[in-house]
Amino acid sequence: MSKAVISLDIGGTSMKGALVSKTGDILHKEEFDTDPSFTTDEHKSYIIKCVESLITKKPSEYDIVGFGADSPGISDKTGVHIGGAENVPGLKGLSFKDIGRVFNVDALHANDASVAALGEFRYGSGRGKDSKAAMIITVGTGIGGGFVFDGELFTGSIGAAGEIGHVCLVPNGERCNCGSVGCVERYCSATAYISSAKTKVHKGLKQTELTMDIIEKGGAKVIFDYAKKGDRLANDVVAECSHYLGIAISQATNMLDLDLVLIGGGICKDFEMIIPYVRSAVIDYTLKIQAERLSIEKASLGNDAGILGCAAMFFK
Ligand SMILES: [Zn+2]
């Protein structure tokens, strides 16, 4: 019999479920709506129903060897969620091990950004790479990250490692949702590209075809579209925000001696546009001996990184 894991990538309003084989093949995938106002017990009974549904789709030649879950927030060593998911507060106190026991399988849970990082490393762009110290940085509305050292997820003392989005980049800088100021994600998330473009348009800094209305409707994508067409203001935004992303990567590299960085999230659709600025900042701000060895590449799994990471927690 071949081995498969039940994967559940838990978000605020929806969950992605899947059956994943050891080789990273998604044997079945489905999406479930969920409710961020669920109590802990409601989350538990709903997740059990979802897992039951996934098991009915199991191909007969596969054995289920585990239940892997990820979500916002963190869990302790006994598989109980202990908080950090402000948007889904009912997850706190949920025992993933208890859910596993219902199905007679071991259960593992970790933070969603960390698990996605492991998925990307094991089954995505990190696959087959001889990396000793990798960081996967996800640049979307916010910025998340995860570290894989010697092929294993590194989650820190309580499971909260990887918050590169909240490393301070600009002292006394812009206020961040986390309560601090000057955080990385205020300067190079997709949201930052949008706010930088709006500020520049508002100030009338350069000739541009971009307007507040166009940016409002089109988001970060439209800024890249205009930059490709040669719009000077849009190109300035891409250069500036991507430079900040490069500085953030250089800080992590100096500290952790990284040899591989994979950039994922919505922004990696335009990887070719951002990478020259990212690389140039990395060369400027990283110790030479490290910068020379560092490979920076595009992540490849997109939204499947979470469900594949849930399986990767079981399969070495
Ligand atoms: Zn922050």
Instruction: Please state the separation of Cα 156 from the chain's center in Å.
Output: 17
pLDDT of 183: 97
Cα 233 to middle of ligand 1, angstroms: 26
Within this chain, domains 2-121+304-312 and 129-299 share the same CATH topology: yes
Cα 184 to middle of ligand 1, angstroms: 7
Cα 216 to middle of ligand 1, angstroms: 23
Q: Which residues contact 72 (CB under 8 A, 6 or more apart)?
A: 10, 11, 12, 84, 85, 86, 87, 88, 91, 111, 112
The CATH H-level superfamily of 129-299 is: ATPase, nucleotide binding domain (3.30.420.40)
pLDDT of 206: 80
Cα 167 to middle of ligand 1, angstroms: 7
pLDDT of 49: 97
Please, is 312 exposed, middle or buried when counting C-beta atoms within 10 Å of its C-beta (0-12, 13-18, 19+)? buried
Cα 67 to middle of ligand 1, angstroms: 32
Among 216, 220, 217, 286, smallest CA distance to 258 is for 286
Cα 175 to middle of ligand 1, angstroms: 8
Cα 186 to middle of ligand 1, angstroms: 7
Distance CA 298, CA 311 (A): 21
Instruction: Please check whether residue 79 is in contact with residue 107, taking contact to mean a CB–CB distance below 8 angstroms.
Output: yes
Cα 180 to middle of ligand 1, angstroms: 5
Distance CA 51, CA 57 (A): 10
Please, is 173 exposed, middle or buried when counting C-beta atoms within 10 Å of its C-beta (0-12, 13-18, 19+)? middle
Instruction: Report the run of H or E that residue 225 belongs to, with start and end.
Output: helix 212-228
pLDDT of 205: 77
pLDDT of 60: 95
Report if pTM > 0.95. Answer: no
Cα 84 to middle of ligand 1, angstroms: 14
Cα 172 to middle of ligand 1, angstroms: 12
Cα 177 to middle of ligand 1, angstroms: 6
| Cα–Cα separations (whole angstroms), residue 93 to 12, 89, 230 | 16, 9, 52
Cα 244 to middle of ligand 1, angstroms: 15
pLDDT of 9: 97
What are the boundaries of each domain within the chain?
A: 2-121+304-312, 129-299
Cα 105 to middle of ligand 1, angstroms: 37
Cα 51 to middle of ligand 1, angstroms: 34
Cα 168 to middle of ligand 1, angstroms: 8
Cα 215 to middle of ligand 1, angstroms: 24
Cα 269 to middle of ligand 1, angstroms: 24
Determine how many CB atoms are found less than 10 A away from the CB of residue 277.
Answer: 18
**Mean pLDDT, the chain cut into blocks of 10 residues (316 residues total):** 96 95 97 96 97 96 97 91 92 97 96 95 96 96 94 91 95 94 97 96 89 96 97 97 98 97 94 98 97 96 96 94
Cα 59 to middle of ligand 1, angstroms: 44
Angle at 315 between CA 312 and CA 316, to 5 degrees: 100
Among 131, 113, 137, smallest CA distance to 293 is for 131
Cα 29 to middle of ligand 1, angstroms: 33
Instruction: Give the three-state DSSP class for 316.
Output: coil
Strands 143-149 and 152-154: antiparallel
Backbone angles phi, psi at 269, to 5 degrees: -60, -30
Cα 240 to middle of ligand 1, angstroms: 19
Choices 3.60.15.10, 3.40.1350.10, 3.40.50.300, 3.30.420.40: CATH for 2-121+304-312: 3.30.420.40
pLDDT of 204: 87
Q: End-to-end CA distance of the chain, in Å?
A: 18
Determine how many CB atoms are found less than 10 A away from the CB of residue 240.
Answer: 17
pLDDT of 12: 87
